[in-house]
Amino acid sequence: MFYVGEASIKRLKKQIQNHRADQTEHDSWLK
């Protein structure tokens, strides 16, 4: 159970990082 939860958290963090990277590229593109 704990292992599955840990894996989900890691995947979620990666998704957040990717989203932030996309936002940064979008913001720089607007500028």
Model pLDDT, residue 6? 86
| Domain around 10 | 1-26
Residue 3 covered by a domain = yes
pTM metric for this prediction: 0.49
The token pair that represents 29 in the structure block? 């593109």
Residue 18 covered by a domain = yes
Model pLDDT, residue 22? 77
User: Count of domains in the chain?
Assistant: 1
Residue 4 covered by a domain = yes
Model pLDDT, residue 2? 61
Distance (Å, whole) CA 6 – CA 22:
24
Distance (Å, whole) CA 6 – CA 30:
36
Residue 31 covered by a domain = no
pLDDT tens-digit map of 1-31:
567 788 898 999 999 888 887 777 767 766 6
Model pLDDT, residue 20? 82
